[in-house]
Structure 1
């Protein structure tokens, strides 16, 4: 099934890189490196050059921290989204928010995708998406409260089935609200409402989510499940992230929310070629 993200449509064999642009002073990975307008725009310019298909702009970090009001989140992202739209008119712009008030403001200035990382806690966000023709990312958080870490998390029965039930219910609600079927993505939400054992099980069985018939987005970049698996701090998780990216691509995920764009683009191109969906860039060995 083709994937429609705002003004652009992608084939079902396209593997898309979504570059993270944090408009926060306290993000877990870049620690506020793109909080200022100029550094944030420089980041956008750089990731476009590196091959990003879309950017994901967020004004509130996912982890616990200082309270960020609706007004503050609007101030952090809306003007910047408008500036990115003007500078890169064909770039797909996603905004990481769970609030319908913020969603309405960013859609009005050109956002194409609403990345709801908190699993539909504000049902009015779907109405905004439908009104503006925006795509929606439907995540699974296991009912976790916004901006909380999992604590002694457990699931009755199969965690993968629980994830499937959650994201598919959200996806159907999105369509019922008026979001176009080809503009709905599902995300198992690695680490959100899950311990490392849960996240690893969901990853190794990602093909079951793919087979459900909705395009799958994964947000793997430098997360705790990688750090705990390899016993590596945040700034030493790139190799583990890229290994998980390759496995996820082989299993059929279509969109990858990442910090390292150039490296991810190479991994995805390599997997696409191994799957027979992309020709090699050149083939001279043994032919000349």
Structure 2
């Protein structure tokens, strides 16, 4: 099955009535899309009550891609709020229980930072992460070009297949070492993830001078018809390699993610039948 959705559900204003309260946005979102990426989990391990609430607000067929906590991927450079890495991983896994019990966890996404390059130390850490996560499905997204440079590309893919990582394929600007090319190959027969970050080459890398709106500029991009048609062809090939394909649009600085997702859905001829009801809009 192909699941199309967005990263987060709070900022996609084109989907929602102007007076919709924040607490009602996920339920409204799930009337449009069958999956979403939980970004809040990157900034802090979420209380179990949050996952319970989100699970209860969505249809039975809805699926969550939960982003790994930043302390687990090396983004957080300050002191971690846990006595040890083991306790950090255990706390994160405990926060996943409501998703797992409701059969709504698609995967946990480990997105590593641009300085996480291809070297033995980091390969060992990937193995540690996989071991700590045990049987929970995990996806792997790199941000350093070295993993898919010519000498390493096939070794990286082989390692991911061997350790059963879900490949998080990225569509992003080609802007030096801190970006990776499109590598449309599945590494897990059950699941593949594709994340659309946009192609804003000039805004991708953090400027040397401080910029208050850099992250907003970074994901400012609207995919055109030709670019989405290219992905339609890639997705058809990936369907032969992996049973479930998850597509998440992250290019929402200008509010383009929802429209791009719906356009690609139309191109693929998908009509989701088991979304949340929209009847409440009539009252």
Rounded Cα–Cα distance in structure 2 between residues aligned with 1:108 and 1:272: 33
Q: 1:211–1:122: structure 2 CA closer, same or farther, 3 Å change rule?
A: closer
CA deviation string 1:144-200 (max 9, x = no partner): xxxxxxxxxx649x62663453244134213xxxxxxxxx52024455xx8526799
1:109 Cα deviation after fit: 1.9
1:55 Cα deviation after fit: 1.5
Contact 1:219 1:258 in 2 (8 A): yes
The alignment status of 1:219 with 2:195, answered yes or no, reads yes
Q: 1:114–1:235: structure 2 CA closer, same or farther, 3 Å change rule?
A: closer
Contact 2:166 2:188 in 1 (8 A): no
Unaligned runs of 5+ in 1: 1-9, 31-37, 62-67, 143-153, 175-183, 280-288
1:242 Cα deviation after fit: 6.9
Rounded Cα–Cα distance in structure 1 between residues aligned with 2:127 and 2:41: 19
CA deviation string 1:90-138 (max 9, x = no partner): 221221005323431222122512111128846454345444xx32212
Compute the TM-score of the two structures, normalised by the length of structure 2: 0.55
Residue 79 (structure 1) aligns with: 49
Residue 95 (structure 2) aligns with: 106
Secondary structure in 1 aligned to 2:99?
coil
CA deviation string 1:246-271 (max 9, x = no partner): 42232125322124564234332343
Q: 1:117–1:269: structure 2 CA closer, same or farther, 3 Å change rule?
A: same
1:80 Cα deviation after fit: 1.7
Q: Give the one of 240, 256, 274 matched to 2:223.
A: 240
Q: 1:212–1:87: structure 2 CA closer, same or farther, 3 Å change rule?
A: closer
Secondary structure in 2 aligned to 1:88?
coil
Rounded Cα–Cα distance in structure 2 between residues aligned with 1:128 and 1:227: 35
Q: 1:218–1:241: structure 2 CA closer, same or farther, 3 Å change rule?
A: farther
Higher relative contact order (CA 8 A, sep 6+): 2
Unaligned runs of 5+ in 2: 14-20, 73-88, 117-122, 205-215, 239-244, 251-255, 272-283
Rounded Cα–Cα distance in structure 1 between residues aligned with 2:59 and 2:264: 25
Rounded Cα–Cα distance in structure 1 between residues aligned with 2:48 and 2:157: 27
Rounded Cα–Cα distance in structure 2 between residues aligned with 1:86 and 1:212: 29
Alignment RMSD: 4.4
The alignment status of 1:169 with 2:159, answered yes or no, reads yes
Contact 2:8 2:37 in 1 (8 A): yes
Aligned pairs (5 A) from 1:262-273? 262-273=258-269
Contact 2:7 2:38 in 1 (8 A): yes
Rounded Cα–Cα distance in structure 2 between residues aligned with 1:224 and 1:126: 32
The alignment status of 1:115 with 2:109, answered yes or no, reads yes
Compute the TM-score of the two structures, normalised by the length of structure 1: 0.54
Residue 67 (structure 2) aligns with: 96
